[in-house]
Amino acid sequence: MKNIQKIVVSFTGMVMLVVLGVVVLFLVFGQIKESSGAQKHIYIVLNHADDLLSELRDAETGQRGYLLTDDEAFLEPYLKVYDSVRSNLKGLRQFAVNSEAHKHLDALVPLVDAKLMEMAQVIELRRNHDMTAVLAAVKSGQGKRLMDSIRVQMRSFIQMEEGVLTQHDAEFQSNMLYLFIIIVIASLLTLFFAILFVYLIHRDTQQRFTRKSAEAASEYAESIINTVREPLIALDQDLRVVSVSRSFYDVFKVKPEETVGQLIYNLGNKQWNIPKLRELLETILPEKTTFDNYEVEHDFTTIGKRIMLLNARQIQRALGKERIILLAIEDITDKKKLEREALMAKNVAEAANRSKSVFLSNMSHELRTPLNAVIGFSEVLVDEKFGTLNDTQKDYLNDILESGKFLLSLINDILDLAKVESGRIELLVSSFSLKELLEHSLVFVKEKALKHNIEISLEITKEVGDICADERKVRQIIFNLLSNAIKFTPDGGKVGIKAKINGSEAQVTVWDTGIGISKDDQDKLFRPFMQLEVPLTKQYEGTGLGLSLVKELVELHKGKIWMESEGKDKGSSFKFSLPTGAV
């Protein structure tokens, strides 16, 4: 009812404003018309005054021409003025409405008569050919003085009329400004009332629609609350329970008659009187209206210690009703337990891994000392520095020496891998020529390649130059890959290195025509101690640590390594890329 009254009032106001605006516009237009007429009248007066003054000047000019030439044609302007000047003055006086201007016109009449008389006398003397008298009259300056007086009076008259014109112009501008202001104000007020009228109609329609929609939505929401699986509780502004989902009763072991209508803190013999819940509902939620993932831990009498994740929303209900607070409760006790167990397991695994790395590092150091002695004394004996050896003794000593060197290589690989995994290895970054390093690396394996009739090649593009990396580590990477390529390439095969620059990275490829790797085994290559042959029947020596160590060293440089092979007996290509700039 109130909305309808407001609509009627706004519509009536808009109509009255339009009527008032029309009346005011009519009055203002009348004033503008009157001012415009006055301006037009004054322009006519000024034009008549200019014409009269011009005619007198033309008459004076014609008189001079006649005096000089004695040609009657020059007297035409004079004769025209002589016949019309008095009627023109009379007409000018009728047009002029200013009393002060009339005084100047009254003063102008005898001056014009005197001027015309003076001109007539001089002309008559010229007709009588009395040039001496003509010259005397001209030299007397009487005609000039009369014309100057006429100009003064006419200028004063014109100035007064122009003053009146200026006044009318100001009034016209003022009336136009008032008209513009009235139009703007009337338009704004009309627009205001029109918008108000439309707004009130829209609001009335919207409120009716909202009322029906809100009532339907409320029923729909209550049905959702009753079917949701997670515990859900709706509270009013006083934090009393409005409705509860079935899962809430099941999880927290409470009864409907003990829940609905109760203050939330009093539920279950005040088991819900939780300080963090109070903080959420009474401090945080009133300021934010929504809150997500608020973790609360509490020990309930009926269900024990639980960890809950709360999500709260303030929701506008149907028109005329207070807002409600929707509180969703997720029990994450089991989830938290699993997270803690997973974290503990991770910490235990990391600690075990570090212990393993430390143990391997320590054991490697302990083993290297006696092993170096074994290798050293074996080399002395093989060189027969303490006496000659028979063939059997030489074979045994060579076996001891080769086994010692193999074991030392294994220990060195274990030590390097342990350092990398434990984070104790550091890069000594410097700038060096990658091309020279690759060329020198081939020298170390050249003898072994010649021994097996393996052809070695090197392809380096022109843009390959200096890179910033740990030179010793890069040398170790290349040496391990080359050693593997030669070891797994049959006699008469080929091994090569390719290097190029790819953007901000240097890419190196070590390829061979060896035994190749099946697609099923390619994913296992870079794992520690992983060998693709069965230990009891394997043909090639090795510990399975070389490629794993290469991978760790490449990634330590923030690079990446991968391999490509079409399958068994089709060769392999090991590729790695390193940043050319500082790591």
pLDDT tens-digit series, residues 486-519: 988 999 999 999 999 998 999 999 999 998 888 7
**HSE toward the beta carbon, residue 264, CA cutoff 13 A:** 24
Q: What is the mean pLDDT of residues 257-263?
A: 78
Q: Which CATH class is domain 427-579?
A: alpha beta
Whether the per-residue pLDDT at 400 is higher than 70: the answer is yes
Does domain 2-196 bear CATH number 2.40.420.20?
no
Question: Which pLDDT value is given to residue 535?
Answer: 40
What is the band of 304 on the pLDDT scale with cuts at 50, 70, 90? Answer: confident
Strongest mean pLDDT among 102-116, 143-157, 489-503, 543-557: 489-503
Residue 45 has pLDDT above 60, yes or no: yes
Phi first, then psi: give them for residue 416, nearest 5 degrees.
Answer: -65, -45
Tokens 């003076």 belong to: 118
Amino acid occupying residue 298: H
Q: List Cβ neighbours of 49 (8 Å cut-off, separation of 6 or more).
A: 92, 154, 157, 158, 161
What is the overall mean pLDDT for the chain?
76
Task: Dig out the tokens for 192 from the structure.
Answer: 């205001």
Query: Residue 169's pLDDT is what?
Result: 72
470 CB-contact burial (10 Å; exposed 0-12 / middle 13-18 / buried 19+) = buried
Which tens digit of pLDDT belongs to each residue from 134-193?
A: 788 777 878 778 777 777 777 777 777 677 767 767 776 777 777 778 777 877 777 777
Task: Pick the range with the lowest mean pLDDT from 220-224, 232-236, 502-506, 553-557.
Answer: 220-224
Q: What is the pLDDT of residue 9?
A: 64
Give the model's pLDDT for residue 536: 33
Q: What is the pTM of this model?
A: 0.39
Which of the residue ranges 93-107, 227-241, 549-563 would you say has the lowest mean pLDDT? 93-107
Cβ atoms 541, 406 nearer than 8 A: yes
> Looking at domain 228-331, which CATH architecture does it have?
2-Layer Sandwich (3.30)
Q: What percent of the chain has pLDDT over 90?
A: 13
Domain boundaries, the chain: 2-196, 228-331, 350-418, 427-579
Residue 533: the pLDDT is 45
Mean pLDDT is lowest, of 29-33, 265-269, 366-370, 562-566, for 29-33
Q: Are 467 and 506 in contact (CB under 8 A)?
A: yes
Q: For 281-300, what is each residue's pLDDT tens digit? A: 777 667 666 777 777 777 77
Answer whether 228-331 and 427-579 agree in fold: no
Interval 435-485: pLDDT, tens: 999 998 888 888 889 989 999 999 999 999 999 999 988 988 998 899 889
> Percent of the chain beyond pLDDT 70?
69
Question: In Å, what is the CA distance from 421 to each residue of 350, 351, 517, 553?
Answer: 11, 12, 27, 10
The pLDDT of residue 463: 92
What pLDDT is recorded for position 560?
Answer: 93
